A and B are shown apart, each in its own frame.
Chain A
Amino acid sequence: MLQVISLLLENKPGALLRVTGLLSARGYNIESLTVARTLDPELSRMTIVVDVDPALRSQVIKQMNKLINVLQAVDLTETPSVCRDMVLVRVRTVQESRTAVLKEAEIFGARVISSAVDGFVLEASGAPEKLEEFIQVMRSYGESDVTRAGTVAMSLETKKLRLQPPVPTRADAKLEQTNGVLNA
């Protein structure tokens, strides 16, 4: 079963690699990954879909929570949450099928974002399984190219963010001040 992990992390260079590195170091493949800024521009929200041995999932999530750049990593696999994906499908189709394609698109709530004599580019969003069906249907009409955005997820519960408050740096340590050359 695919698993969904949602992370809130600092929008800093390297932060993404630290998270994905925990998965790749164990040989896990990422099924999908999305990341973008939150309302606070210093933070990003990341959704990762992975296929991890369930026994190890909580271990991996604990490791993610340990990362300094990660404010929170939560497992959405078994908690109330919503998941959505978006897809762009370019379907090449013959003249006779155009109306049928548009009809199907309507059924799936897809929008036409480009139309040409040899076909359409359609945009659909929805639950990942639903999009899977949509893609299959479109492929039955002709050669298709597909770009998926990856799953974005949101928990339906608010989990309290536990953030570390600022701490003071070490009080000035005293070093003997000497003059002249010391380390020559």
Chain B
Amino acid sequence: MSNLMSGAKMLLECLAKEGVDCFFGYPGGVTLPLYDAIYDHPIRHILVRHEENACFAAEGYARATGKVGVCCATSGPGATNLVTGLVDAMMDSIPIVAITGQVPTKLIGSDAFQEADTFGITRSCTKHNFMVQKLDELQQIVHEAFYIASSGRPGPVLVDIPKDVFLAQGHYAPVNTIHLPGYKVFTEGHAGQIRRAAQMIWDAERPWVYAGGGIIAAGASEELRQLVEIVDMPAVCTLMGLGALSSDHPNFVSMPGMHGSYAANMGMSNCDVMIALGVRFDDRVTGRIAAFAPNAKVIHVDIDPAEIGKNRAPDLPIVGDVKRVLQKMLRNVEELKPANVEKNAASRRAWWKQVRGWKEEHPLARPTSDTEIKPQHLMAEIDRLSGGQAIVTSDVGQHQMWGAQLIRFNEPRLWINSGGLGAMGFGLPSAIGAQFARPDKLVFTIVGDGGFQMSIPELATVASYGLPIKIIVMNNGYLGMIRQWQELFYNNRLCSAQLDCFPDAEKLAGAYGFKGRTIDKPHELASALEEAVREPGPYLLNVRVSPNENVYPMIPAGCAVNEMVLGPPEPVGAA
């Protein structure tokens, strides 16, 4: 059997070998040979309406499954349009492979039509990137790209392929080994350190688990659940870690950080042993780092040695895959249990009492009103319909914070948002990727009236593939998060914060051939959401909410937990 084929076909064979069933992209001059090969290849190509969204969709696919997401763009403008998505995947450690076309090798460096130095431009926004110089290297590089993207701390990898490499003919012989001598993946974790950590946990009077996206990346939810149960410790999940421990788990407190709950932040601040698992002590979590968790001994488990001590020097560092580390730690914790369980039992009971007290004192607010839909009311209703089961992707802004605070996620990989980069325009395209990855799942995307308008072209993708995504616009008539900051920190001098034009949702969705509706009355909310969920196809629900609501609690940027603002100032003259 002849296995002579073009580089383009060879690329698709490599993708198939890596288990890719679909990928997201947009064609162009130099990738036409690839599209010619896609024409009759079983891998599905999903045509999005902007390359940035191909990248976000690949991320949505990866975030919903843990598999590598793939996107593809042409040279020049196609490749530069991927940059935001690549940085986003880098910040949130999401495994994606981006394929870009490049001008033919002979023209590289000549300012050829649609030439851009993609290899140079994307160097700092990928975990690694490659430029294929000749067909011989193609297969090896593609497999290396998948391996790098998905192993260790996951991240985006870009492969730049010149047009002549797509066109060249060569023999396909599957590549079976990868050799990257300089690629260091630390999986096991130091056994002695892990044992010491187990002892430290039992020695704690006020233990506290701070779990992040690393738990989800490692698939370590089960181990996390066991750990908090054996020792009966309170746990918080970060914005990236929501669902790592089920929101309905009795030990789950909520999310910590700038818009975290009172109890979550008080716990972070007052614990004596903090077990930090797959987190990076982000400034949005810690606030002013010097004042963060002042009395805590920190155990920090992370697969990336460069995260250890980056923001907070741990008392006990463990470099390793958090799943493997937790498996060992669980054994140690069990072994040490009989000798230790009684020791601090009384203090730990008192600690729990305090944590529960904090929760009751200042629960996350869910205000409702008879006249207007409160944003929190909207989130509470979505939560009711989801029951902790639906995939919810979010855009960036106030709605994202309320969603994170108020919607439950009973499994990992249900809450999908742009955490580290905070890239507006992420919500809808990531929902597209998630829905392709999980056709069985109910997928909501919650977007602001600002961010939605950044991704509006993707309504066409939703319509043309008939994706039954429930697009919920939390429409407050503002770039809400901008208004909130201008109000609180810039003397209410609102500048370019108002969004005074928003399309008619029914007409807009109708123009794409699916259903849409606008509501603004609280009594319509439940039934409108139910109608959206019942609809077998896509649905655009534009929910007009109170325009002036702010997200609380809030720890202003650069402040410490004790500077947390719990709610709006009392109106002057109030009793």
Contact = CB atoms under 8 A, between A and B. Distances in A.
A183 B177 contact: no
Contacts of A69: 182
Contact of A167 (B21, B119, B178): B178
Interface in A168-184: 168-170, 172-173, 175-178, 180-184
B441 interface: no
Interface string A52-82: 0000001100110111111110000000000
Given A59-B306, A68-B148, A167-B177, A176 B42 contact: yes
A65 B40 contact: no
Interface string B171-201: 0001111111111110000000000000000
A9 B41 contact: no
Contacts of B174: 169, 172
B42 A182 contact: yes
Given A59-B306, A169-B176, A173-B17, A182 B184 contact: no
Interface in B1-38: 16-21, 38
Interface stretch (B123-131, B281-289, B393-401, B520-528): B123-131
Contacts of A178: 42
A59 B310 contact: yes
Q: Which of B19, B177, B181 has the most CB of A within 10 A?
A: B181
A-side binding surface: helix, strand, loop or mixed?
A: loop
Given A13-B131, A170-B17, A66 B306 contact: yes
B411 interface: no
B interface bracket (residues with beta carbon within 8 Å of A): 35 or more
A17 B41 contact: no
B41 A182 contact: yes
Interface string B31-56: 00000001111111100000000000
B181 A164 contact: yes
A27 interface: no
A10 interface: yes
B177 A166 contact: yes
A163 B42 contact: no
A160 interface: no
Contacts of A175: 16, 21, 42-43
A156 to B, nearest CB: 23
Given A25-B124, A166-B179, A167-B147, A62 B305 contact: yes
B567 interface: no
Contacts of B294: none
A50 to B, nearest CB: 17
B88 interface: no
Interface string B307-333: 001100000000000000000000000
A109 to B, nearest CB: 38
Interface string B488-523: 000000000000000000000000000000000000
A166 B178 contact: yes
B42 A170 contact: no
A18 to B, nearest CB: 6
Contacts of B119: 14
Given A25-B124, A172-B17, A68 B39 contact: no
Contacts of B208: none
Given A168-B177, A170-B18, A175-B43, A71 B182 contact: yes
B182 A181 contact: no
Given A25-B124, A175-B43, A169 B182 contact: no
Given A66-B184, A164-B179, A184-B39, 7 more contacts: A164-B181, A166-B179, A167-B177, A168-B178, A169-B17, A170-B19, A175-B42
Q: Identify the 6 closest CB pairs spanning chains A and B, nearest first.
A: A173-B19, A62-B306, A166-B179, A71-B182, A163-B181, A166-B177
Interface of A: 9-10, 13-14, 17-18, 21, 25, 58-59, 62-63, 65-72, 162-170, 172-173, 175-178, 180-184
14 contacts: A25-B124, A59-B309, A65-B305, A66-B305, A71-B181, A166-B177, A167-B177, A169-B18, A169-B143, A169-B176, A170-B17, A170-B18, A176-B42, A183-B39
